[in-house]
Amino acid sequence: MSERKAFIRACTDRRRTIAQICIEFGISEKTGYKVLRRFRKEHDELLEDRSHAVLHHPFRIPGEVKEKILSLKLAHPQYGPQTIHDWLIQNEPGQRWPAASSIGEILKRNGLVNQHRKRDRNAERAHLNSSLTKASEPNLVWTADFKGQFRLGRGSGKYCYPLTVMDLNSRFILCLKGLETTAIHETRREFTRIFREYGLPRVIRTDNGVPFAQHNSIGRLGQLAFWWVRLGIKPEHIRPGRPGENGAHERFHRTLKDTATRPSSQSMKPQQERFDAFRVEYNTLRPHRSLKERRPPKHFYSSSERSFPEHLPPIVYPDGALMRRVSSCGFIKWRGQEIFISANIAGSYVGIFEVASEEGSDELSVRFANMQLGLLDLDTKTLKPEVRWIEPI
C-alpha cells in the first residue's frame, strides 16, 4: 500500500515520464497505468490488495447439497463420509453428489467428525484362525453373541442382555433380541424362532462365554451346542482371548452400542422397539462397506434351504457302530466299566466304532451325531477328548 502511494506521488512530478517512474519502482508500464487508472477512479481505497479468488467456481458444492449431507449425518450420527456418500448414491441416484473426501471436509467444518482410534490391521490378521470356516455363501456361517449387558432406565434395577445373530457372508442381522438373562432355555427359544424363520445354517460361530460354551465339558460343548449338533449344525468356537476372530460381529456390536443403547430406555419394551428399528435400518438402508457396491445386507441374503425340523429325526451312525445310551449322570457302560462322556447329552445314544490310527493300531471312536467326541483307550477304559466335526455322508 505504501509503495503504491509513493508511486502516485512520483507520478505527480511532471519532470519525469511514467516510463522512467515505472523503471524506478520495478514495474511494467502496463501495471503503472493500471494503478493510475484505479487511483483516478476511486482514489485510495482501490490501492488496497485485492482478492485473486475466481468469481465463479465450477465445482462449488451447492448449499442444498450441503444441507442434505448435514441432515443425513444428524439423523445417523454413526455414518461416516463414505457411508453417507454410498447412501446418497443408492437412494437418490439422479442427483450429482460430491466425493466422500469432500463430504468429510463438510462434516469437519461443521464439527461433525467422529474421531476413532486407528486400527492395526496387521495385528488383526495375525490373530486370524485358519481353521475357522470361510463364509463363502449365505447361511454357511452364522455368528452369534451376547452384547455386553446394560442397565435399563434410572433405578429400574433390570438389565438387558441383547442376543445378536448375524449371517457372516451377507452381514444380515437375523436376530437382535433383548433378553432378561443368558439362560440356556431363553436362548434356545430365540434360536428356535430364528431357525423357523430363516432355516438352518451349516456352522454357528461364537465366543467361549455362556451359554455358547461350557468350560468343564468335552470340547467346551454345552447343552445349546449339543442341540445344534443334533440339528446338523457345527458349533465353532473362536480361541479364548481372540475376539478379533469374530471381528465382523464385534464391529457390529460397536455400531449397535453407539446407536441403540446410549442412553438406555426405561424398560424392555421401548428398548426392543429401538432394537427393531435399528435392525431394519441396518439390514435395508445402511450401506455396508464390506459388501459388493457397498449395498445394504438385504441385497445379498436369502433364507436357508435347510428347514427346521419340529421333531428331531433319529441319529444315524455308520454301519458297524455299537450304540451306547448316555446315563443321566453322563456315563456309558463299556465292557463292565463306566466311562464318563457328558451329562449334556444324557438320554441320547452315542456310536462307538473302530478307526485305523496312523500308528497302525485300532482305536475306538466315540461319536455323537456328526461330532466325534474322542478316542476310547481300551487299556485304561477312559475317553481321550479329540473333538472334530465329521461331514455327513
**Residue 143 neighbours by CB under 8 Å, 6+ apart:** 165, 166, 168, 204, 205, 206, 246, 248, 249
- Per DSSP bridges, beta strands 159-167 and 172-179 are antiparallel
CA–CA gap between residue 3 and residue 341 (Å, rounded): 98
CATH number where 93 lies: 1.10.10
C-beta of residue 113 within 8 angstroms of C-beta of residue 107: yes
Domain ranges, residue 273: 131-299
Residue in this structure with the C-alpha cell 438389565, named with its chain if needed: 159
pLDDT at 379: 78
pLDDT at 17: 84
The reply to whether 259 falls in a domain is: yes
Co-location of 159 and 213 in the same domain? yes
pLDDT at 334: 87
- Residue (of 204, 348, 183, 313) closest to 373 by Cα position: 348
Co-location of 73 and 39 in the same domain? no
pLDDT at 115: 65
Co-location of 149 and 216 in the same domain? yes
Q: What is the pLDDT of residues 180-229, one digit of tens each?
A: 999 999 999 999 999 999 999 999 999 999 999 999 899 999 999 999 99
Co-location of 93 and 233 in the same domain? no
CA 316 distance to own-chain centroid: 38
Co-location of 18 and 145 in the same domain? no
Query: Looking at this protein, which amino acid is placed at residue 54?
Result: V
Mean pLDDT by 10 residues, the chain (393 residues): 82 80 88 83 57 64 85 86 86 84 86 67 52 94 94 83 97 97 95 97 95 92 96 94 90 92 91 96 93 93 96 87 93 90 94 73 85 87 89 67
The reply to whether 53 falls in a domain is: no
CATH number where 230 lies: 3.30.420.10
Co-location of 279 and 140 in the same domain? yes
**Residue 144: beta bridge partners?**
165
C-beta of residue 283 within 8 angstroms of C-beta of residue 173: yes
C-beta of residue 160 within 8 angstroms of C-beta of residue 178: yes
C-beta of residue 367 within 8 angstroms of C-beta of residue 390: yes
CA angle 140, 341, 132 (to 5 degrees): 25
**Number of neighbouring beta carbons within 10 Å of residue 230:** 18
pLDDT at 175: 97
Co-location of 194 and 243 in the same domain? yes
Co-location of 177 and 228 in the same domain? yes
pTM over 0.95: no
Residue in this structure with the C-alpha cell 450441503, named with its chain if needed: 66
Co-location of 75 and 171 in the same domain? no
C-beta of residue 168 within 8 angstroms of C-beta of residue 297: no
Cα end-to-end distance, the chain, whole Å: 92
Co-location of 227 and 283 in the same domain? yes
The reply to whether 242 falls in a domain is: yes
Half-sphere exposure of 230 (CA within 13 A, CB side): 18
Which of 235, 264, 299 represents a domain boundary (last residue)? 299
The reply to whether 311 falls in a domain is: no
The reply to whether 125 falls in a domain is: no
Residue in this structure with the C-alpha cell 471381528, named with its chain if needed: 247
Co-location of 293 and 328 in the same domain? no
For residue 40, which phi and psi values (nearest 5 degrees)? Answer: -65, -25
The reply to whether 256 falls in a domain is: yes
**Residue 390 neighbours by CB under 8 Å, 6+ apart:** 367, 370, 371, 372
Task: Provide the number of structural domains found in the chain.
Answer: 4
The reply to whether 272 falls in a domain is: yes
The reply to whether 309 falls in a domain is: no
Co-location of 143 and 271 in the same domain? yes
Q: List, as own/partner pairs, every contact residues 86-92 make where C-beta atoms lie below 8 angstroms and the sequence separation is at least 24, other chains included.
A: 86/287, 86/289, 86/294, 87/285, 87/286, 87/287, 90/287, 90/294, 90/295, 91/285
**Number of neighbouring beta carbons within 10 Å of residue 138:** 20
